[in-house]
Chains A and B, each alone.
Chain A
Amino acid sequence: MQRIGVFVCWCGSNIAGTVDVKKVAETLGHEPGVVFSTDYQYMCSQSGQDLVKDSIRTYNLTGVVICSCSPRMHENTFRKAAASVGLNPYMVEIANIREQVSWIHKDMETATEKAIILGRAAIAKVHLNAPLIAGETPVTKRALVIGGGIAGIQTALDIAEAGFEVDIVEKSPTIGGKMAQIDKTFPTLDCAACILTPKMVEASQQENINIYAFSEVDEVKGFVGNFTVKIRRKARYVKEELCTGCGLCTEKCPQKKVPDEFNLGLSNRRAIYIPFAQAVPKVATIDPNYCTMLKTGKCGVCSKVCGVKAIDYTQKDEIVERKYGAIVVATGFEPIKVDKFEEFAYAQSPDVVTSLEYERLMNAAGPTGGTLLRPSDKTHPHTIVFVQCVGSRCDEKSEKGKPYCSKVCCMYTAKHAMLTREKYPDTEVYVFYIDVRTPGKNFDEFYRRAVEHYGVHYVKGMVGKVTPENGKLKVQASDLLDNRQLHIDADMVVLAAAIEPDKSARPLATMLTASMDTNDFFTEAHPKLRPVESPTAGVFLSGMCQGPKDIPETVSQASACAAKVIGLLVKDKLVGNPCVAHSDEMMCNGCSQCQNVCPYGAITYTEKEFRMPDRTTAVRRVAQVNPAVCQGCGACTVTCPSGAMDLFGFSNNQIMAEVDAICK
């Protein structure tokens, strides 16, 4: 028989306001096995914990039930307190009478009754608890960073500086991400390439960093400290180790009509290409969708002109398997497709562009060499209309756009408007906005400069219709402050498209068993207190994959993420979770169902010799759980048809005892 202590917490008035805590303590005190029962204002406080500790010593308790908040909050606190006075921490059970009782009920009588019932269930479980001892696992001292944009680069650099090896996996031929496409950065207006490309070079030269460009993550197995990852190195048809990046092949390739992704299709590239001059690694890549040699077997010009014989038309995808202690997700974002917003006539006129396209049109390395020309007739535009919130802050039920604010559009639109007015003072610039949101260091000053100093026309209201007609874009809009309709004959319309997580994020989240919100942004372990960790242990979040952010914010989060990774990698061993599954070999019938449902690959089957009742031996196939890999999710225990699978700390018996106590 256990000697159980019950501790009922008031949580100030959080619990005591709705639950009669005295009555709960008193009633539970009469339960079989309970030798001590009390209530206290704040059980999690130091004096509350001391009360628990003293009672364990005084009454020689072998089990503890805390009636308080969710175990997610303070289970660990009380387990530590128990352990400090010699009680096995897994002899502590929590009955959640806050989130599941006082916060959701109003009537004190029924709430008190429910609290008592939940307390009883916890007591019934403690009766069947057994001391558990956690095992230890070693930590692989290498990190994987998925995504080579500014977030991934910064995280990788910081981890590498601390002395740990880092691999960056980037799906495009070069690292750099979206920032490489941007012209200038707000609010300082320094050139994005000038501050990004040195970091890209630093990453390639850092001896602890290894870059797998043009590669994707194929499979992730294992758990915190011990991930095994398969990386697919996609065929470039160019030997990376031989290519010098001289670019001769990209000049001689006869296939000239390939839309250039880096310039968002505003210009063409060749079938063999280097995305941009400062690409890292600076290696050519053949696009198999356009290469005549790969499609028809006739051409081979690049191979002929290559001085170092780097071209290899027979190259195949290659799989690399590496072990990591931590994984950083830095998959970034992309602007939404604006095809659902055809009122702005994006599909009807080349002069309606997205902001990222405008960024390329302004860029000295862009398709127009930095001279702003409208795409349709390459003339200088005199009236430009910017439309903000295209697809941002939409009605959640609209299915058209995103419910959230994309956060960066107000600032980059102010930047575009300002730069346009500065370079071309003869241009009239209108910005249509719902709200202008510019919180951030020197941000509002920046926006006001656009309005007051550069004379940009900011109009509160939305554009309703853009009608391309006879070389002009007829813009119909409303000015809400003036309460009138506006008709503007514009030469260009620029759409600040909402941003969304990169398409690769969702399949990656499945591989990592990391959770996402309804918008496919990765969820953090705690929105305020653990913002750079995923709830999945060993998986960390860097940059836009977690939510919209500008560059300064991305870089700070990337560094914070690195700090958390370093904190994990400096540990030699991790204490595991003893609440893992185990199989009763005598009952196991070898059906494999548990193996099929295990999301972590923790279950294997072996042939084992058993002595039969008649003294003969028989070989049977039985399940075995690797406790280091098992996460204790319990999927196998409910699947097992013979009841052989059971979970330490949450055994079938314990759960039935809880149910019985509730239904009594």
Chain B
Amino acid sequence: MEFLYYPGCTLKNKAKDLDLYARRTAEALGVTLTELPEWQCCGGVYPLGRDEIATKLSSVRNLIAARDAGRDLVTVCAACHNVVKQVNHDMATDDYIRTRVNNYLQPETPYEGETQVLHLLEVLRDKVGFDAIREKVVKPLTGRKIGAYYGCLLLRPSKVLAFDDPENPTIIEDFLRALGAEPVIYAQRNECCGAYAAIENENVPKKRAGAVLSNAKANGAEELVTACPLCMYNLKKQADGTGVKVTYFTELLAEALDIR
């Protein structure tokens, strides 16, 4: 199984663990992740303005490179995944945006959203299979009560991301079960952590991440798992002193496969 791998900027500095264990666990599971050469920033935030083209260009460049290499593009960071996948959807379905982007970039073959964008969790679920992972687990996380924290970016907009049911997702819970852990279902698992509001008004993530943590704890979670560096930042800040540990899903996988 070979995929092109798009780490994104955050994974090269703040979220090195997310990147490192993604590569290591993939290798252990027989998945080859080849880093996309000369990749660019995804754009950071998906622009909602219909006439905003400039901030979509870098994502399109990555998508074109993947198409030309003839491979599916795998992301790990939830934010990158959201931006790249939404931009790809625009290129496949929105005539206006497609024409303008192609006019500007002038690729040899106009890009029409041909690349398949996958999140590593989707690769684990659909390509590797959670059952196959269960068989490879060496150190099962038996008895650990872990709450899956989805946040917003992996799930919404649900029709474009097509990741899981946005109100009742199960993919991370199934993943946790495959590792032998005990998933904790709690209502706030698909609510926002406060995201970039952290820059402007610290009270927003305080309130939001606080609500996520307290709800998870009230339902018996001892740990939280996420796929998003920004969620990690906000949650970790609020988790100080609560005794709740926050980890990336790749870290847990590495732990269970005993390659940490």
**Residues in B130-170 with C-beta less than 8 Å from chain A:** 165, 167-168
- Contacts of B219 on A, CB cut-off 8 Å? 468-469
A345-B187, A348-B185 known; A467+B215 contact, CB < 8 A = yes
- B215 pairs with A469, CB closer than 8 A: yes
Q: Are A347 and B187 in contact (CB under 8 A)?
A: no
In the complex, A466 has a CB within 8 A of chain B: yes
- Cβ of A341 < 8 Å from any Cβ of B? yes
List the B side residues contacting A572 at CB < 8 Å. Answer: none
- Cβ of B40 under 8 Å from chain A: no
Q: Is the CB of A469 within 8 A of B218?
A: yes
Confirm or deny: A340 has a beta carbon within 8 angstroms of a beta carbon on chain B: yes
Q: Is the CB of B218 within 8 A of A347?
A: no
Docked complex Cα distance between A585 and B214 (Å): 82
Count A-B contacts at CB 8 Å. Answer: 31
In whole Å, how far is A473's beta carbon from the nearest beta carbon of chain B? 9
Tell me if B188 is interfacial: C-beta within 8 Å of chain A.
yes
Q: Which of B185, B191, B214 contacts A469 (CB 8 A)?
A: B214
What is the CA–CA distance of A339 and B165 in the complex, to the nearest angstrom? 11
Most A C-beta atoms less than 10 A away, residue of B165, B167, B211: B167
A466 closest partner in B (C-beta): B187
A465 at the interface (CB under 8 A from B): yes
Task: Please tell me if the beta carbons of A467 and B211 are within 8 angstroms of each other in the complex.
Answer: yes
Is A343 part of the contact surface with B, judged by Cβ < 8 Å? yes
Say yes or no: A347 contacts B215, CB within 8 Å: no
- A494 and B219 alpha carbons, distance in the complex (Å): 22
A348 lies within 8 A of B187 (CB): yes
Interface 0/1 of A333-344, CB less than 8 Å to B = 000000111110
C-alpha gap A178/B168 in the complex (Å): 29
> When chains A and B are docked, how far (Å) is the Cα of A308 from the Cα of B180?
56
In the assembled complex, which residues on chain B have CB atoms less than 8 Å from the CB atom of A347? Answer: 168
Q: Complex Cα distance A122/B191, Å?
A: 65
Which of the listed residues A339, A347, A467, A470 has the most CB atoms from chain B within 10 Å of its own CB?
A: A467
- Residues of B with C-beta under 8 A to A348: 185-187
Per the bound structure, the CA–CA distance linking A270 and B225 in Å amounts to 44
How distant is the Cα of A340 from the Cα of B164 in the complex, in angstroms?
12
CB of A468 within 8 A of CB of B187, answer yes
Say yes or no: A465-B191 contact (C-beta < 8 A), given A339-B168, A342-B168: yes
CA distance A342 to B219 in the complex (A): 16
Min Cβ gap A130→B in Å is: 57
Instruction: Say which residue of B185, B188, B191, B218 sits within 8 Å of A470 (CB atoms).
Output: B218
Give bound CA distance, A495 to B115, whole Å: 42
For A342, the chain B residues whose CB sits under 8 A away are: 165, 167-168
| A residues 362-421 in Cβ contact with B at 8 Å | none
Partner of A340, one of B165, B188, B191, B214: B165
CB-CB < 8 A to A339: which residues of B? 168
Q: Which residue from chain A places its CB closest to the CB of B169 in the assembled complex? A: A342
| B187: chain A residues within 8 A (beta carbon) | 345, 348, 465-469
Residues of B within 8 A of A467 (CB): 186-188, 211, 215
Residues from chain B with a CB closer than 8 A to the CB of A466 are: 187
List B190-231 residues whose CB lies under 8 Å from chain A. Answer: 191, 211, 214-215, 218-219
Instruction: Kindly list 8 other residue pairs between chains A and B, CB separation below 8 angstroms, not including A342-B168, A467-B188.
Output: A339-B168, A340-B165, A341-B167, A343-B167, A348-B186, A467-B186, A469-B187, A469-B214
Residues of A within 8 A of B (CB): 339-343, 345, 347-348, 465-470
Q: Which 5 A/B pairs are nearest by Cβ-Cβ distance?
A: A342-B168, A467-B187, A342-B167, A469-B218, A343-B167
Q: Can you list 15 contacts pairing A with B, beta carbon distance less than 8 Å?
A: A342-B167, A343-B167, A345-B187, A347-B168, A348-B186, A348-B187, A465-B188, A466-B187, A467-B186, A467-B187, A467-B211, A468-B187, A469-B187, A469-B214, A469-B219
